[in-house]
Amino acid sequence: QDFESLWVILADDRSDKVDCGEFTRAIFGEMNEYRKAFVRKVSFAYMKVDFNKTGSVPMVDIRKCYCAK
């Protein structure tokens, strides 16, 4: 019964799947403006170091952009 109730809440698009975004919004709610701005900044920074646009960044590429001095 608990699963059925949860499924009704999560599967609001009537598909037979629940994606990660639907799940996190149901559990944590929508992000506030501060969190949204932070995610945008992190995403922008990640795009800067992902030179090849592959979705993963090797350490050698990070070293090209970051100096820990």
- Least Cα distance to 21 among 29, 38, 55, 68 occurs for 29
Question: Domain coordinates of the chain in residue numbers?
Answer: 2-65
Percent of the chain at pLDDT > 90 equals 17
Mean pLDDT, residues 58-62:
86
Give CA separation, 2 vs 8, 9, 12, 20, in Å. Answer: 10, 11, 16, 20
Q: CB–CB of 28/15 below 8 Å? A: no
| pLDDT attached to residue 37 | 95
pTM over 0.75? The answer is no
Query: What would the DSSP string read from start to end of 16-55?
Result: S---HHHHHHHHH-SPPHHHHHHHHHHHHHHHHH-TT-SS
